[in-house]
Chains A and B, each alone.
Chain A
Amino acid sequence: MILPTLTMASVKEKLSAFSFKGLLLPLFGIVMFIVLWQAGASRVHTSLGEFPGPVVVYEQWNSLVAEHQRERVKEDKFYVRQEERIAERQAKDPSYEGKLRDYTGKPTFFDQIFTSLYTVLAGFGLASLIAIPLGILIGLNRSVYSALNPVIQVFKPVSPLAWLPLVTMVVSASYVSDDPMFSKSFLTSMFTVTLCCMWPTLINTAVGVAAIEKDLLNVSKVLQLNWVTHVMKIVIPSAIPLMFTGLRLSLGIAWMVLIAAEMLAQNPGLGKFVWDEFQNGSSNSLGRIMVAVLMIGFIGYLLDRVMLTIQRFVSWDKTQLLR
């Protein structure tokens, strides 16, 4: 009788210990933050009113959701109206071919989130496509490393804001098309993100490749693996942990850079939303900006979690502590 009770108790103890650390402590942290935020916010006065506290932010969130829904309803009606008109004219004149025009209403908060998300993924994807192969090459060959290292070290610390004017000018000069597949603003943001976020992946991949155990290289030599097999079977798997460290840093940088680029260049996205609200200067603006700030943080967190999940899936070293 004693034994089962004991084990039950220990299980309960473990469970409570887990939920204490896993759930209660984070919850406590969040609650403390909200209390301090509310208390602090009411003391900060600006020309646009009080600094937004949690309650105001929650209200603005709701109003942004409502705005988005209204806009969608408007959009649906717009298309229905067009279709009716076309149908009407076709009834009178069967040869008439109507053309549906795109809805050109103001993008809502959620449209901007979507724009930012695919821009950051495109920029990050392009950066990875360049940085991983280049990193492998640099890691494999000391001469390539010596040749490229100074260039990398100089470009690595460049701020996105410095790149932006150049990228804008180059894109508008070289991407001339009557029926563009991508908008210029998208390309400008994307290339700026690519230029700024490729470095951590590049450097970490190179370091990972260069740090392959000598014994494994000897195995490859004894087996006389050809270059492709050597890279695929030995180099890449062995560099994967560091490569992912780089990729996660890159994605974080990409997201930060994108918001800044959108603000400065007035390219569609969350950055533009923040800037527009700032220029708007209504009594709601600060609350809305705060919603955007929290949303930017939350999306950045989600992006990192997604990368972590991929890393857990891909990495062979299941004992590695990932956080």
Chain B
Amino acid sequence: MATHLDISQISIEFPTAKGSFKALDNVSLKIEKGEFVSLIGHSGCGKSTVLNIVAGLYDATEGGILLDGKEVKGPGPERAVVFQNHSLLPWLTAYQNVELAVKQVFRKTKTKKEMHEWIMHNLELVHMTHAADKRPDEISGGMKQRVGIARALAMEPSVLLMDEPFGALDALTRAHLQDSLMEIQKDLNNTVIMITHDVDEAVLLSDRIVMMTNGPAASVGEILHVDIERPRERLALANDPRYVDYRTQVLTFLYEKQRKVEPIHAASASTKTKTAKAAHA
């Protein structure tokens, strides 16, 4: 299969008070259509930076992004992003949040009625039609993230970018949403890049797991093909030797090969990528 998304030798430097800080060094990754790729690595390794460059929110200092052979610059709805903390507009209902995206993307190609059906269809996908007229502060964290996913899916992106989409949720809600995502993926077969720091999540959802080395100047460490047929069943996999093996490989990479050499208190404090980045700088 031809390469759908080509992340080609990207490096990025951020100017800081103490001179420039190289966050990524020569990151390359080719992704095929319909592939689900996870980026995993320690906090502050630049996973989110990679995603932001693909999304067009950051500009790579060197290298670039090719989508279907064409270089992309700047953000756009064909690379929809699901943000970690949902990022719904708090003054709009779930329906209106999705509507904003749909109107923007399909203004010229869909009629009013078609847009309405498309919005409802996407809310249906994430099982949120019952709360379509609720505002974000009236629904739970998991529900907000569902609406965030619906909004991204509604843009019909050629690549769906997910920045730790379930990171802020409790374990049960997270599992529930992962199942939902697999169900949606079964039908839509989107190309997905997902940032995660959850090893189980990565193995369960991905076709490939890209393990990143620690920053500064982080790069791709190892790539693991997860060769487990779909649909995958969380419970059945728990004792599957292949699953356990993949899991061990990722854990080995994270905790032996790329062990964080940071004092414990700093490591536990730097749960957010940004704080960790600051600590490195």
Q: Is the CB of B85 within 8 A of A233?
A: no
Q: Is the CB of A218 within 8 A of B83?
A: yes
A66 within 8 A of B: no
Q: Is the CB of A234 within 8 A of B76?
A: no
Q: Is the CB of A237 within 8 A of B91?
A: yes
Shortest CB-to-CB span from B22 to chain A, Å, is 23
A215 within 8 A of B: yes
B147 within 8 A of A: no
> B85: which A residues are within 8 A, CB to CB?
215
> B56: which A residues are within 8 A, CB to CB?
221-222
Count how many pairs of residues, one from A and one from B, have CB atoms less than 8 Å apart in the complex: 57
- Taking CB atoms and an 8 Å cut-off, the chain B residues in 59-95 that contact chain A are 74-77, 79-81, 83, 85, 87, 89-92
Q: Is the CB of B76 within 8 A of A222?
A: yes
Q: Is the CB of B83 within 8 A of A233?
A: no
Instruction: Identify whether the interface residues of B are mostly helix, strand, loop, or mixed.
Output: loop
Interface string of A50-86 (1 = CB under 8 A from B): 0000000000000000000000000000000000000
With A215-B85, A218-B83, A316-B135 already in contact, the answer to whether A223 and B104 are too (CB < 8 A) is yes
Q: Is the CB of A222 within 8 A of B77?
A: yes
Q: Is the CB of A224 within 8 A of B75?
A: yes
> What is the size category of the interface that chain B forms with chain A?
20 to 34
A216 within 8 A of B: yes
Please measure, in the bound complex, the distance between the C-alpha atom of A141 and the C-alpha atom of B109, giving whole angstroms. Answer: 34
> A316: which B residues are within 8 A, CB to CB?
90-91, 135
Q: Is the CB of B89 within 8 A of A222?
A: no
Interface string of B184-195 (1 = CB under 8 A from A): 000000000000
Q: Is the CB of B55 within 8 A of A222?
A: yes
Which of B80, B81, B85 has the most chain A CB atoms closer than 10 A to its own CB? B81
Q: Is the CB of A237 within 8 A of B89?
A: yes
B101 within 8 A of A: yes
Which of B56, B77, B79, B87 has the most chain A CB atoms closer than 10 A to its own CB? B87
A318 within 8 A of B: yes
A319 within 8 A of B: yes
Please measure, in the bound complex, the distance between the C-alpha atom of A221 and the C-alpha atom of B58, giving whole angstroms. Answer: 11
Please measure, in the bound complex, the distance between the C-alpha atom of A224 and the C-alpha atom of B155, giving whole angstroms. Answer: 12
Please measure, in the bound complex, the distance between the C-alpha atom of A150 and the C-alpha atom of B98, giving whole angstroms. Answer: 42
Q: Which of B81, B89, B104, B135 contacts A216 (CB 8 A)?
A: B89
Interface string of A200-241 (1 = CB under 8 A from B): 000000000000010110110111110001000110011010
Q: Is the CB of A219 within 8 A of B89?
A: yes
> B114: which A residues are within 8 A, CB to CB?
none
- Taking CB atoms and an 8 Å cut-off, the chain B residues in 243-258 that contact chain A are none
> B87: which A residues are within 8 A, CB to CB?
213, 215-216, 218-219
A111 within 8 A of B: no
- Write the chain B residue with the least CB distance to A234: B89
- Taking CB atoms and an 8 Å cut-off, the chain B residues in 13-66 that contact chain A are 55-57
Q: Is the CB of B100 within 8 A of A317?
A: no
> A216: which B residues are within 8 A, CB to CB?
87, 89
- Write the chain B residue with the least CB distance to A229: B104
Please measure, in the bound complex, the distance between the C-alpha atom of A265 and the C-alpha atom of B74, giving whole angstroms. Answer: 58
Please measure, in the bound complex, the distance between the C-alpha atom of A237 and the C-alpha atom of B136, giving whole angstroms. Answer: 14
B137 within 8 A of A: yes
Interface string of B117-161 (1 = CB under 8 A from A): 000000000000000000101000000000000000001000000
List 12 interface pairs A-B (beta carbons < 8 Å), by A numbering. A215-B83, A216-B89, A218-B75, A222-B55, A222-B75, A222-B76, A222-B80, A222-B81, A237-B89, A238-B91, A316-B90, A318-B137
Closest 8 CB pairs of A and B: A316-B91, A215-B87, A237-B91, A221-B75, A222-B75, A223-B104, A219-B87, A222-B81
* Interface positions of B (Cβ within 8 A of A): 55-57, 74-77, 79-81, 83, 85, 87, 89-92, 100-101, 104-105, 135, 137, 155
Contacts A222-B79, A222-B80, A319-B137 aside, 5 further interface pairs with beta carbons under 8 A come to: A215-B83, A218-B55, A221-B56, A222-B81, A234-B89
